[in-house]
Amino acid sequence: MNILYCGDDHMKRGLLLSILSLLDQVPATLNIYVLTAKVTPQTVPLAPTTIAYLNDLVQQRRSTNQVQLIDITDLVQQTPPTANFQTIFTPSCMLRLYADQVTALPDKLLYLDTDVLCRQDCRDFYDQSLAGADLAGILDHYGQWLFHQHGWHRDYLNSGILLLNLKRIRQTGLFTKCRQCCQTKQMFMPDQSALNKLAQHKVIWPRRYNEQRRLHADTVFQHFTTSFRMLPWVHILTVKPWEVEAMHHKLKLHAYDQLLAEYQALALKL
């Protein structure tokens, strides 16, 4: 199974935790690719030593597993997402839009944000056919009601979990168009907005493959996004899975305690 993550040094703890969840739930070889870059002067790319540590870790579980770091600073500098450097979202989240230019990446990839935890075996999602489609994903919890590409049809995907048909994307130029859009047009959620606007053929899967609100018995992936809560007052809540105390006290979530205990022990070595 080919997995893609993107980001800088700030996401290394999330990367560790997300990978650990995959190791626990997916009984298949994991080929994990990590794109990093110096997007802005303040950005610190992921260090090769971090990836070496993660590679040793995954190979302890299965010798055929691997984690590979790919620095794409040169690619980003050629077409930087200039118009979106000042959004509330880190520019590093747009690194996935350069994947088509990386020859080392395979034709099919499961992209995951680093605040995603795997709860059940996801091979049915990964093994689906993407013939004729650029990508597969799940509706955004809030955006599906606010943004529509075709009338009132709900088709606005959350970009935190995407199965990418990279072979087709290279042929259609989807990511090239998205990069150009991010370079010239300021958007609230830059890469997600561009992908939803420009992707012509996408497959929509059920909520449980990208649960953005609460954990359910059938959840395959839980994505710890920002949410609105109504009680005891209307407020915005953001808790990331590596924030163990907040997971317990704000989300009242203990389903990942065993995973988090393993993570806390290993994170000390990062």
The strand ranges marked E within the chain are 2-6, 31-36, 66-71, 108-112, 116-118, 135-139, 157-165, 202-205, 221-223, 227-229, 235-237
Is cis: bond before 190, omega within 30 of 0? no
**C-alpha separations of 104 from 34, 49, 69, 71, 72 in Å:** 11, 20, 11, 12, 12
In percent, the amount of the chain with pLDDT more than 90 equals 76
Tokens of 179: 């990069």
pLDDT in the model for residue 189: 77
Q: Are 147 and 192 in contact (CB under 8 A)?
A: no
Answer whether residue 96 shows pLDDT above 90.
yes
Least confident of 13-27, 93-107, 134-148, 243-257: 134-148
For residue 225, the one-letter residue type is T
Total domains in the chain come to: 1
Model-wide pTM > 0.85:
yes
What does the pLDDT average to over 75-79?
94
* Proportion of the chain above pLDDT 70, given as a percent: 90
Q: Which residues contact 126 (CB under 8 A, 6 or more apart)?
A: 1, 110, 163
Band (218; pLDDT cuts 50, 70, 90): very high
> What's the DSSP call for residue 152?
T
- Tell me if 259 sits within 8 A of 156, measured CB to CB: no
- CATH code for the domain in which residue 132 is found: 3.90.550.10
Note the pLDDT of residue 205: 98
pLDDT tens readout for residues 137-183: 999 976 665 666 565 667 889 999 999 999 999 999 999 999 999 98
| Residue 112: predicted pLDDT | 98
Q: Show the domain range for 71.
A: 2-267
